[in-house]
Each structure stands twice: as structure tokens, then as C-alpha cells.
Structure 1
């Protein structure tokens, strides 16, 4: 509409600045024409409670500042018309057929030289309702809504059913597997993942291949291999995992594992006593405690015979090379199950095994101790509140001396035996540099694993490195 306000521009702008719009509405050309029934006969417009909607400078609240300097006006309007002004409600009360709830303009929309106008109205209509037809339509709409909603709910089928992971008599280093198949039987793509329950204590020991989450298309299957890494001191696990389906129903997976850790995870005091043949000057590599010779002595301060036999076997060899042992290709080729089985059978003759196999099974025995050689209590007392101080090599060397004095006799004995072995196979600076150039940073990987064997994962990595190097009186080589 192009109706304007019949007043001088200056007076209109002054009234707007004073928010005095009632006098302006009396001069509004459209309203004047409608009162005289010259235009829009029978049409109505609510009271205007907003400022003129035209003409603005674009993206501002300023009325026209161009050369034409147009007079602000209400050029944007909403008119309505009804055949009946009022209707009877239940043949009792009269209601206006159209009631204005809101009539306003959008002052925050500024990309045009107009301000858009909007209206909200309550309209009363007269109708005759067929209840049977209405109920039938309602029921059909509900059924259709339920059908559409159900189609959007993911649905899966899991095999084996129900999913129960049961691993019995698992030995240390075993990696038993469980195969799970998830089929999408719904009408939409589903996304699944496997998560621990709130009571889960073993989730960190599980590996999933492929890794979750899993996106499964309609009628497609996802094969999952779940493996358990049996390198833990726990003897029995009863757990619940959750196969979670986004926007769908979850499935519970029970997990029951019994472990036979054998000598792995025993404390040093839980091993059988160590015996020494004083006449033949050698240890007795057996757990049979039925000795009747006066030359057989129980070595109460010595570590378990399994540790002595492994360390002695390595010390007698000339091919103990740390950089070779921790080479990725060598590590990938190792099969420690045969030597592990022999240890379970208390057979400590390791002459037929390779040096890397013997060395790594020794590290596994150390890592499986419930308490590390350097107990958590000693580590906390020495390092807990002095992280920065002991990062200096000379201070760490002093700390090592204090720590050794605090060790129990059996732990100290094993600690020294292990250090003597490490000193024998410790690489030179030239060997480290050459290895790093050819194979990457094997030396730091070796330090990582050796430190974990003695300290377990208690201190931070820098402290563990500094401790190992201080034990061997070495400077860290990058």
C-alpha cells in the first residue's frame, strides 16, 4: 500500500521522536479513506501500536536521509474481513469471529527500507462435526504416526544370543577371543558402540576389532572380535558390558572370566623357598622342597628361583643386546607361550629358548608382581612431592642410594641381580645413535619398558626414565 500520513515531514518526525503516534494515526490516509467507506469497505484493522514502517535507511533505525527525504508512514498493513462479525457459542454467548491477539512490526529486521508487519488472530469458525468420521481419522493418524516413529527406531539382532563371554582357566599372556555378530533388522541405519557398565572393572583389558562405533546399514551385519589381554593380577572377573544402540534398545553382554596366573602375579614372599646346593655351589632349579642333604641350604634372603634361573641364563650368554631385543621386528616375531607354559610346569631349564624370549618373560614376571620391586610406598615417599627436584641426574643418583637402603632384603637382592644384567647388555652411545638412525628411537622404548618392570606405572614417564638411568650411572641419551 502506498498510503501516507497527511502532515508535513518535520511534524511527523517530531511526533515519532516524542513517541506521540495517536495524532499521526488520525492523519493516516488509509484510515481516513476507510472511515469514509471510500476503500476496503467491510475490512477492519486493529489499533496500530508501532511506529511507521517506512522509509528507513537500510540496516539502520534511521528514517530516510536521502535527497528525497520521504515522510515516514504506515505503508505496511494487515486488514481482515469476516462475513459475520459475531457468532453464537453453543447458542448462548456471542463471540467475535476474529479477535486480534497481536499486531506488530519486526523492528529487528533491517535489510529492507520497510519493517515487516505481522498479526496473530483467533478465528472462530462454525462447523458441524461427524464424530464417527473424526474418530476414524484420528485413529488412522495415530497408527500412521506410530508406524513412522517405529520405523525410525533402530533394531538389531545379536548372535550368539544372548551374548555371553565366558573364558575359563585363562593363563597369563593368553588372548582369548569372542566373536559377536550384530545385524540391523530395523528400517533405518543404526549406530552401535560397546561401553562399560557403571560397575565395570575390566573394560581396559578388552580389545575390539574393528574399534567402535559401528554404523550398520539396513539388513547388513557387523562382525566384531572381542579379545581379552590376560596380563592382570585379577583372578576372577564377572562383569557386564553394554551394547549401546543410538535411539534404540541396549543389549547387555555378560563377561565371566577365571584366570590361572600361575607364578605370575605372586608376590616374592608367595613363591616357594629358594634352595642352594652348598657342596656343588649351585642353586637348585626346582620347587620340590623335600631335601634331606645337609648341603642343601634354604636361602631366605634370595629371590625366587625362577628369577635367579632366568637372570643367570641370560648372564651366561653373549648375545644379550637391548637394542636387538626391543627391535620392532624381533618383538613382533616373539612367541612367549611355550616358555610361559614351561614356567607353569616349574621347569626352569631355558637353554633352548632365544635370548629375547628369556629376557621378555623375565620382564613380564617383574611387571606382574602385585607390588613393584620399588614399592609404591617408597616411590611416594621419594618422589610424590618432589617431581621437579629429582629430574636432575645427580639428585636422582642420590635418590637411588636412599631407595636401595629402604628395600627389603629379598627385593634388594633381585634388584641388584637385575641391574647387573642390564649393565652387561647396556648399549654404547655409538650403538644407540646408529640404532636410532636405522630403526627409530628404540633406546627410549627400551627404557620405558625396563622402568615399568621395576616401578610399574606409578611415577610419570620422565621420573621413570631418570630413575633407570641413575641406577646405571648413565646420562640420558636422546
Structure 2
């Protein structure tokens, strides 16, 4: 705890009545300006330092001082006294004072009082000072100044009980330790140990894990969950309610952790941290295995694509592919799944990008039945809307191991060139270079996709109307299409320029 030593001394001071002894003393204080005179050898200074009575005419109580404090001024005013530290006159006056005190108090007193000479003393923390008597010794006239004295009743701290002081110090230290421990947040987490485990997760699944955090300490705590290192999978977690969480004493906080499964890896194994401010952290493990099905693959990992030259149709079931000489493998064609989705979408009359990316449409879409059908390799899409077909196609593109335009090509064309490709004309020229460098499957799928997009891309007049009526829908549409083809490799401006050049938007009427 900060400033503990200082706080300890303050608390000891507050409790000093428990280990400090006080006593009342009478103190006679006298001062005398001797004006450079020699100490007389034939007289004493009884009137100045003799026992006194108080000023109360009724009691006339006599006081014998417990302490006599004497101060002199101008004992030796010569310059040599300061230079050579000559204390001869001081010794003479000191001797005279001792003789006077002995005369006044050393003989014929019942208490048999004896005074000890202290050359220097400092009285610490005088609790109370009460004046009793004041005197000017007018009969002492060998100096042009008269000595004065005063008697005071003083309460002084004069003794410390060290054992008791040590005990109180130990008590305070234990108290501070207890308070400090009570101020450390302590939580209890269930399940214990906390481990998020999702097995055989399909693309677009959103499994949920519920975590209970209970405050079992003596103070409120602030908690938050964070990755232990740079973690792309952490971005796919959502927490309900939103963090951070303030949990009062004995209170509980339930946190629903949702995982949005959009990954092109086989498994995830990571550690997250449940951080407690000023307290102990808790580790949370995340283990996920995926059942990718048609998602998260490379184009070369799909089954081969076959074509019937006699019927001029693609083969959607490959059980009998070798029974006819007319059936051939299309090495450079994309997977049949992509061909089926694109061809089915092109046949629809209601393919409208702006309508598909409308918020109401997106909120109402349920892609899970269509996703499950793709897992079963069923390509009959009759019962699904155009919006469902188009969005599942974009999800397939976004889940590819490598984007349709590979990272290598993107770097070669966009990042390793000194000229600026953000202008539309430059980007259009770059597209032809990109197409030449693409592999056969990727190039074929790229052209099929462009034909589909160009069919439903709005004209300039429609775009102006959309921008006036529908706000950011067009920008959202462009961003998602660009991410589906390029993934998040280039910056947003480059992606947008690329997709607009692909669609030849500037030349459309």
C-alpha cells in the first residue's frame, strides 16, 4: 500500500497516549544581560533564582523548580572571545549560578533536592505550559540590566514504554496488511478451469460459451478479457454484455462468449486472459476444431469438375463419370459448386445488388440451411432466394485459403510498384496484367464472377439515385465485393479502385 511508513507513523502518533508517559514539571526560567561585566565574587543571585510562591494571595504555595533553565546575554562582547573561543567569563558565570542554586536549594531543604548540570537540553513536545510567577530581581544592580525569571508549570512527555510501543506497531502493521489484502479483488470463475472448447464447427456457426465470474473478495473489481498475444481469432469473439465488467462484492457476472466461425484453418488453440484490475489474472483456453466442408479450402482441394460434351452440361453428380466417353475433366474450370451458384444466380430475374445489400434483406437472411445443403454436396438451389445464393457465393470466396487474386500477385502489382495505381485508368491497365498471371481455375472463376457482377451492376443514373436515396449501401456493396476477391491484403482505397475498374463502372451508361 502506498505511503505505508508515513501512515504507520501517523497512526502511532494518534495512539501515543497508550505508550507515552506524561509528567507535570515546574520549570524556572531566568535570563540576565550582564553587559560584559565580570561575575561578582562576593555576592550570590538568590533573588533571581530562589524558590518562589505563586501569585495567588490566598494560597501562597511555594514551588521548588524541577528544572532551572538559565540564559545569559553579553557575557563577553570582546572580539577575541569569538575568534579564539575564550570561555573564561562563561565559566565564571556558570560557577556563580551553581553556587547560587546550591545556596537556594542544596541545603536545609526537606526534599534534599540535587540538581544536575546539563550544558544543553531540548524539551520535546511540551503539552501544556502554565505561567505561575514572574520576577524582576531589582536588587541585583551590578549590571545596567536586571535579571528576570519566570516559573512555569509544564507537562512533558518524559518516558516511552518501548514494549507497548512495539506491540502497538505490530498491531498496526497487521491491520494495514489486512486492509491491503481486503483491497485486492478476488474472483471465482466457473466453469473451472475456464476452457472454451468447440468441436466440429461448421462455417458460419456461432457457438456460445457461458462464463460465470463471481466476486468473492472484499472490494468491487473491474474485469476484462483480452488475448495473450496478437490473435486473429480473438476478433471473431463477441462478448455479451460488452466488457469491461464491474462486479460488486458477492455479485456475479455472466458473460456469453460467441464465436463467429469464418476461418480457413483446421483448428485453433489459443490462450486468453481474464484480467482483474489490481488482482490476479485467470487464463482462458480456446480450442476449436472445424468441419470445413466446402469452406476454407483452396480451389485445387475441391473435387474435379466434369463436363458432358454431348449434352453440353456440367456433371453435378460424379458417380458415373467414367461410363461415357463424352464426359471429360475440366482441368482449368473452377469447382462445380461455384459454377452452379453463379449459373443459378445469372438465371434469376431479381438479381439486384442494391436490394441484396439492403439492411432489411441482410437482417432477414438465413444462410444456414443452404450452407448445410452445400456440406451434403446437394446443388439443387430451387428453394433458395437469389440473395441467399449470392451471399453464400461471397462467403465461399472469402473463405478461400488464398484470395482469388493471390497475395503474390497483389504484392507484385500493387505493393512493389513505384507508380500510383489508384487512378482508374492505371487500375484498368493493371487488371490485364493480373489476368495474365492468374492460374487457370482462378482466371476462369474470376471471369465468371465478373460477368455475373456486370449483369447486375447499376448504371450511372441508378447509382446517382441510390446515393441520394439509400446512403452508404453502394459503398458497403463495393467493400464486400472487393474483400471477397482480394481479402484484407490491400488497403481499402486500392481494393475499391480495383473492383470499380473490374466492373468498368466509368464506361457504363
Name the TM-score class by shorter chain. Answer: 0.7 to 0.9
Partner of 2:33: 36
Partner of 1:439: 470
Write the distance in 2 (CA, Å) between the matches of 1:97 and 1:310: 103
Write the distance in 2 (CA, Å) between the matches of 1:43 and 1:315: 115
Deviation track 1:391-419 (CA, whole Å, cap 9, x = no partner) reads 11111111111111111111110000000
Q: 1:97 to 1:343 in 2, by over 3 A?
A: farther
Partner of 1:105: none
User: What is the CA distance between 1:211 and its match in structure 2?
Assistant: 2.1
Partner of 1:141: 172
Q: Is the 8 A contact 1:311 1:421 kept in 2?
A: yes
Question: Which of 473, 476, 493 is matched with 1:462 structurally?
Answer: 493
Question: Which of 315, 334, 347 is matched with 1:303 structurally?
Answer: 334
Partner of 1:155: 186
Partner of 1:13: none
Question: Which of 447, 450, 453 is matched with 1:416 structurally?
Answer: 447
Question: Does structure 1 residue 275 correspond to structure 2 residue 272?
Answer: no
Question: What pairs up with 1:391-402 in 2 under 5 angstroms?
Answer: 391-402=422-433
Q: 1:203 to 1:150 in 2, by over 3 A?
A: same
Q: Is the 8 A contact 1:452 1:464 kept in 2?
A: yes
Partner of 2:159: 127
Question: What pairs up with 1:109-120 in 2 under 5 angstroms?
Answer: none
The TM-score with structure 2 as length reference comes to 0.68
Write the distance in 1 (CA, Å) between the matches of 2:463 and 2:383: 29
Write the distance in 2 (CA, Å) between the matches of 1:375 and 1:462: 18
Deviation track 1:346-387 (CA, whole Å, cap 9, x = no partner) reads 111111100000000000111111111111111111110447
Partner of 1:355: 386
Q: Is the 8 A contact 2:32 2:71 kept in 1?
A: no
Residue aligned with 1:398, SS = helix
Q: Is the 8 A contact 2:198 2:289 kept in 1?
A: yes
Q: 1:97 to 1:361 in 2, by over 3 A?
A: farther
Partner of 1:14: none
CA RMSD of aligned residues (A): 2.8
User: What is the CA distance between 1:135 and its match in structure 2?
Assistant: 4.5
Q: 1:96 to 1:167 in 2, by over 3 A?
A: farther
Partner of 2:434: 403
Number of aligned positions between the proteins? 370
Write the distance in 2 (CA, Å) between the matches of 1:99 and 1:387: 85
User: What is the CA distance between 1:222 and its match in structure 2?
Assistant: 1.8
Question: Does structure 1 residue 169 correspond to structure 2 residue 200?
Answer: yes
Partner of 2:264: 233
Q: 1:148 to 1:280 in 2, by over 3 A?
A: same
Q: Is the 8 A contact 1:199 1:239 kept in 2?
A: no
Deviation track 1:112-158 (CA, whole Å, cap 9, x = no partner) reads xxxxxxxxxxxxx8635353x34432332232112211211111122
The TM-score with structure 1 as length reference comes to 0.72
Write the distance in 2 (CA, Å) between the matches of 1:472 and 1:369: 22
Question: Does structure 1 residue 338 correspond to structure 2 residue 369?
Answer: yes
Question: Which of 321, 327, 335 is matched with 2:352 structurally?
Answer: 321
Write the distance in 2 (CA, Å) between the matches of 1:37 and 1:183: 81
User: What is the CA distance between 1:236 and its match in structure 2?
Assistant: 1.1
Question: Which of 225, 235, 246 is matched with 2:277 structurally?
Answer: 246
Q: Is the 8 A contact 1:199 1:240 kept in 2?
A: no
Write the distance in 2 (CA, Å) between the matches of 1:95 and 1:192: 65
Write the distance in 2 (CA, Å) between the matches of 1:366 and 1:167: 24
Deviation track 1:257-293 (CA, whole Å, cap 9, x = no partner) reads 1111111111111111000111111101135475321
Write the distance in 2 (CA, Å) between the matches of 1:434 and 1:37: 111
Unpaired runs of at least 5, structure 1? 1-32, 45-93, 101-124
Q: 1:34 to 1:232 in 2, by over 3 A?
A: farther
Deviation track 1:172-220 (CA, whole Å, cap 9, x = no partner) reads 1111111112122222111111111137553222111222211112222
Write the distance in 2 (CA, Å) between the matches of 1:353 and 1:459: 33
Partner of 1:262: 293
Write the distance in 2 (CA, Å) between the matches of 1:284 and 1:37: 131
Question: Which of 254, 262, 269 is matched with 1:223 structurally?
Answer: 254
Q: Is the 8 A contact 1:189 1:215 kept in 2?
A: yes
Write the distance in 2 (CA, Å) between the matches of 1:273 and 1:213: 50
Q: 1:308 to 1:138 in 2, by over 3 A?
A: same
Deviation track 1:201-253 (CA, whole Å, cap 9, x = no partner) reads 53222111222211112222222111111101121112111111011111111
Question: What pairs up with 1:50-199 in 2 under 5 angstroms?
Answer: 98=122, 127-131=159-163, 133-198=164-229
Of structures 1 and 2, the one with the larger relative CO (CA 8 A, separation 6+) is 2
User: What is the CA distance between 1:429 and its match in structure 2?
Assistant: 2.1
